[in-house]
Structure 1
Amino acid sequence: MEAKAVARYVRVSPRKARIVVDLVRGKSVIQAREILAFTNRGVAEAVEKTLNSAVANAEHQHHVRPESLIVKTAFVDEGPTLKRIRPRAKGSASRIRKRTSHITIIVAPREEA
């Protein structure tokens, strides 16, 4: 029995989000929360929020204690890119790509994963 949470359209580049998500993959939920609390990255807050949502889903749907859960799967997919324009020299313009991410975290009981 797994519980899943997805944070969609997070305004951070997937490359930056993957750095933080790689830190918590395979760890226990308690250990993952500690890692995220002391990670000095802006996206750590969004990842922690997604992790807490997955744990809450496991508690509510499957009546599992959070201490017995581990982060089974965690990955970041690329969301839609917002395209903006920056004025440049001689009347030209260059494109700015504001990337978004979809963060997915799946938690499972320790013996199952």
Structure 2
Amino acid sequence: MEVKATAKHMRIGPRKVRLVARNIQGRPVEDALNILKFTPKKAAEMLTKVVSSAVANAEQLPGVDVDSLVVKQIIVDQGSSWKRHLTRSMGRVNKILKRSSHITVIVAEQE
């Protein structure tokens, strides 16, 4: 049985989240949360919340053993971007994109 949790419009670029997400994919949930706890990145805190949410969603289902859950898949997609500009010399402008991410975590029982 698969259970998922999503977090949308997280204010961090998807490339930065994928760096951390790659470390915990395929691991047991308890190990994944321990790895995220000691990872010094902003994305680690966000992923911790989403993985914990997926575990809480799994607890609500009857017959699911929470101790045997594994992080099956983490999908990090690009969300909307805030468009800002930075004025430059001679009347020019540079575009700044403040990117966001949609994070989906799928946990499943280990077979």
* Distance in 1 separating the partners of 2:62 and 2:97: 41
* Distance in 1 separating the partners of 2:48 and 2:100: 17
* Distance in 2 separating the partners of 1:44 and 1:63: 29
* Distance in 2 separating the partners of 1:83 and 1:14: 16
* Distance in 1 separating the partners of 2:22 and 2:62: 26
* Distance in 2 separating the partners of 1:73 and 1:108: 9
Mark the runs of 5 or more structure 2 residues left unpaired by the alignment. Answer: none
- In the alignment, which residue of structure 2 is the partner of 1:8? 8
Give the root-mean-square deviation of aligned CA atoms.
0.9
- In the alignment, which residue of structure 1 is the partner of 2:33? 33
Taking every aligned residue pair, what percent have the same amino acid on both sides? 46
* Distance in 1 separating the partners of 2:62 and 2:2: 8
Mark the runs of 5 or more structure 1 residues left unpaired by the alignment. Answer: none
- In the alignment, which residue of structure 1 is the partner of 2:58? 58
Q: What one-letter code is carried by the residue in structure 1 that aligns with 2:95? A: R
- In the alignment, which residue of structure 2 is the partner of 1:73? 73
Give the superposition deviation at 1:63.
4.3
SS in 2 for 1:53: helix
How many residues of Structure 1 are paired with residues of Structure 2 in the alignment? 111
The normalised TM-score by structure 1 is: 0.94
SS in 1 for 2:26: coil
